[in-house]
């Protein structure tokens, strides 16, 4: 790990402490090895980047993350509070004030200064609003499709299109064979020609990597415009 | 239940904080009000948040155990009901999930004086990690971690590196990600491009 004799790491805004405190924490504090007993050089964190793995329930999002993540996929909980008021039917549970939703994620350290996080969206459509949290600052998205249940992915496709997030559609080939022609799938999904459609196997690391690369190439092409 | 601290006077009663409507986990038909929440560890928490439960600072270590029994039930008791962290007002966007947090030297020296979750967070942040990893590893609610991390940052015990959203359109970053990912071997150990035909 890289220790930190550094100015502000690239790509970061160091959150400033409120005025009521003394000086804000700057990366200079990173090298501070003052009189504290436990003082140790503070490590410089890698630049975090993220991609979003979306799709319907059970299409292989977690499998995809697990295939390429360097850690066992972790699950974190986030709650729906007032946001759910108009979404959840509270008729039968009037005292219910929160719904908890879990999302899986993994990460890959690409080099000591760069770490890619992969967040799987919560599967249910009605948790879609949480995606705002997920896609803010995301490099791109991969929508995973199971051709037996195409309509499961419409919410994700709509959302990425609306947010203008670069995304590709990955058709998960569960059993090594595809029952449909890719053109048929594209027609059924009604996505524009500019959206890449790839076949991949969520269980194969190389296959997942290549699908993610398709998304990233698209994002790069867009950024270069 | 441990008694509430006698923090009357200018601070107002801590009990007033216990019934604030901010906590999403409190049910409407609670048989009795919950015990007072643990106080934020940050003695220098921002004055602007107007939280009526601001601690008197020195009382921190004595007070903390009183909120412990409710841990399993109501995550936001850990944050005194606040849903926005110390360094960000509720109007600010929440810290992104991938925000990197690292313990500062100050935080590590103060480790023995911190209680429970705060101690666990600072200790875990000896290694830089994201808020999402922190929440998952410590089995804490993500939004609770956001709040406490904000408090710890205000107390200068945690450095918070907020990623900029513009990074996603940064050509050089994208190139680095692509190059890094290309080098990731597949399950047979082959990088991209070396696949058998």
Q: State the average pLDDT for chain A.
A: 76
Overall domain count for chain B: 1
pTM: 0.69
pLDDT confidence of residue B40: 46
Question: Residues A140-183: pLDDT tens digits?
Answer: 999 999 888 888 888 889 889 988 999 999 999 876 667 778 88
Q: Which residue of A has its CA nearest to B165?
A: A137
Rounded-to-integer distance, Cα B121 and Cα B86, Å: 15
Average pLDDT score over residue span A107-120: 94
Rounded-to-integer distance, Cα B164 and Cα B120, Å: 27
pLDDT confidence of residue B50: 41
Nearest in space to A169 (alpha carbons), one of A222, A217, A214: A214
For chain A, how big is the Rg over CA atoms in Å? 21
Residue B50 located in a structural domain: yes
Rounded-to-integer distance, Cα B104 and Cα A25, Å: 9
Rounded-to-integer distance, Cα B15 and Cα B186, Å: 58
pLDDT confidence of residue B52: 43
Domain, as residue range, for B147? 14-166
Which residues, numbered 1 to 30 in chain A, qualify as contacts with chain B under a Cβ-Cβ cut-off of 8 Å? 1, 9, 11-22, 25, 27, 29-30
Residue B95 located in a structural domain: yes
**Interface with B, mutate which of A22, A51, A137 (most B CBs under 10 A):** A137
What percentage of chain B has pLDDT greater than the value 70? Answer: 50
Q: Does A111 touch chain B (CB under 8 A)?
A: yes
3-state secondary structure chain B: CCCCCCCCCCCCCHHHHHCCCCCCCCCCCCCCCCCCCCCCCCCCCCHHHCCCCCCCCCCHHHHHHHHHHHCCCCHHHHHCCCCCCCCCCCCCCCCCCCCEEEECHHHHHCHHHCCHHHHHHHHHCCCCEEHHHHHHHHCCCHHHHHHHHHHHHHCCCEEEEEECHHHHHCHHHHHHHHHHHHCCCCCCCCCCCCCCC
Contact call for residues B156 and A191 (beta carbons, < 8 A): no
Locate A53 and state its tokens: 């793995």
Residue B188 located in a structural domain: no
Distance from CA of B145 to the nearest CA of A (A): 10
pLDDT confidence of residue B173: 95
Nearest in space to B97 (alpha carbons), one of A147, A145, A76: A76
Residue B177 located in a structural domain: no
pLDDT classification of B76: cutoffs 50, 70, 90: low
B169 → closest Cβ in A40, A133, A223: A223
Q: Which of A32-36, A122-126, A127-131, A167-171 has the lowest mean pLDDT?
A: A32-36
**Could you tell me which residues come within 8 angstroms of residue A62 by beta carbon, excluding any fewer than 6 positions away?**
A73, A104, A120
pLDDT confidence of residue A123: 60
Q: Does B90 touch chain A (CB under 8 A)?
A: no
Residue B123 located in a structural domain: yes
More confident residue, B92 or B177: B177
Class of domain A47-224: alpha beta
pLDDT confidence of residue B68: 39
Distance from CA of A139 to the nearest CA of B (A): 5
pLDDT confidence of residue A144: 93
Residue B2 located in a structural domain: no
Average pLDDT score over residue span A86-98: 50
pLDDT confidence of residue A134: 83
- Highest mean pLDDT, choosing among A79-83, B3-7, B160-164: B160-164
pLDDT confidence of residue A56: 81
pLDDT for residue A118 is more than 90? yes
Chain B residues with CB under 8 Å of A25 CB are 104, 153, 156, 158-160
Distance from CA of A138 to the nearest CA of B (A): 6
Domain borders along chain A are: 7-45, 47-224
Question: Residues B119-169: pLDDT tens digits?
Answer: 999 999 999 999 999 999 998 888 889 889 999 999 999 999 999 888 889
Question: Residues B39-60: pLDDT tens digits?
Answer: 444 444 444 444 444 344 433 3
Q: Which DSSP string do the residues of A142-211 spell out, in sequence order? A: EEEE-GGGGGGGHHHHHHHHHHT--EEEEEE-TTS--SS-HHHHHHHHT--TTS-EEEE-TT-HHHHHHH
pLDDT for residue B2 is more than 60? no
pLDDT for residue A212 is more than 80? yes
pLDDT classification of B9: cutoffs 50, 70, 90: very low
pLDDT for residue A29 is more than 50? no
**Could you tell me which residues come within 8 angstroms of residue A37 by beta carbon, excluding any fewer than 6 positions away?**
B109
More confident residue, A16 or A204: A204
pLDDT confidence of residue B69: 39
For chain B, how big is the Rg over CA atoms in Å? 21
Q: What ipTM score was computed for the predicted complex, to two decimals?
A: 0.76
pLDDT for residue A216 is more than 90? yes
Average pLDDT score over residue span A45-73: 90
- Highest mean pLDDT, choosing among A194-208, B31-45, B64-78: A194-208
pLDDT for residue B115 is more than 60? yes
Residue B197 located in a structural domain: no
> Dihedral through CA A176, CA A179, CA A180, CA A185, nearest 10?
-70
pLDDT classification of A66: cutoffs 50, 70, 90: very high
pLDDT confidence of residue B46: 43
């Amino acid at each position: 790990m890289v220790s930190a004799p550094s100015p502000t790491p690239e790509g970061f805004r160091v959150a400033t402490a409120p005025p009521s405190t003394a000086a804000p924490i700057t990366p200079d504090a990173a090298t501070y090895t003052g009189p504290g007993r436990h003082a140790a050089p503070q490590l410089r964190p890698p630049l975090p980047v993220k991609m979003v793995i979306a799709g319907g329930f059970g299409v292989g999002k977690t499998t995809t993350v697990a295939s390429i993540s360097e850690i066992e996929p972790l699950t974190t909980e986030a709650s729906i509070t007032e946001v759910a008021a108009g979404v959840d039917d509270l008729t039968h549970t009037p005292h219910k004030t929160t719904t908890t939703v879990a999302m899986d994620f993994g990460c890959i350290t690409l080099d000591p200064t760069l770490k890619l996080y992969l967040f799987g969206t919560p599967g249910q459509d009605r948790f879609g609003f949480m995606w705002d949290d997920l896609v803010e600052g995301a490099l791109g998205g991969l929508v995973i499709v199971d051709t037996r249940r195409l309509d499961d992915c419409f919410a994700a496709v709509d959302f990425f299109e609306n947010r203008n997030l670069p995304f590709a559609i990955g058709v998960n080939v569960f059993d090594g064979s595809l029952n449909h022609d890719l053109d048929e799938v594209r027609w059924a999904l009604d996505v524009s020609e500019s959206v890449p459609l790839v076949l991949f196997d969520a269980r194969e690391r190389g296959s997942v990597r290549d699908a993610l690369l398709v998304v990233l190439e698209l994002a790069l092409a867009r950024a270069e415009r | 239940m441990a008694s509430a601290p006698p923090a009357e006077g200018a601070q107002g009663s801590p009990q007033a904080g216990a019934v604030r409507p901010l906590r999403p986990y409190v049910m409407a038909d609670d048989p009795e009000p919950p015990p007072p929440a643990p106080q934020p560890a940050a003695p220098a928490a921002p004055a602007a948040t107007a939280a009526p439960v601001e601690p008197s600072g020195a009382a921190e270590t004595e007070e903390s155990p009183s909120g412990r029994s409710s841990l399993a039930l109501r995550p936001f008791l850990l944050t005194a009901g606040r849903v926005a962290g110390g360094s960000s007002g509720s109007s600010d966007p929440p810290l992104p999930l991938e925000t990197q947090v690292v313990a500062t030297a100050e935080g590590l020296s103060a480790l023995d004086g911190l209680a429970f979750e705060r101690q666990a967070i600072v200790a875990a942040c000896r290694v830089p990690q994201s808020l999402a990893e922190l929440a998952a590893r410590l089995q804490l609610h993500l939004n609770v971690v956001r709040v406490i991390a904000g408090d710890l940052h205000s107390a200068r015990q945690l450095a918070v590196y907020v990623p900029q959203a513009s990074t996603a359109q940064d050509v050089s970053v994208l190139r680095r990600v692509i190059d890094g990912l290309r080098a990731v071997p597949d399950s047979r150990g082959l990088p991209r491009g070396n696949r058998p035909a």
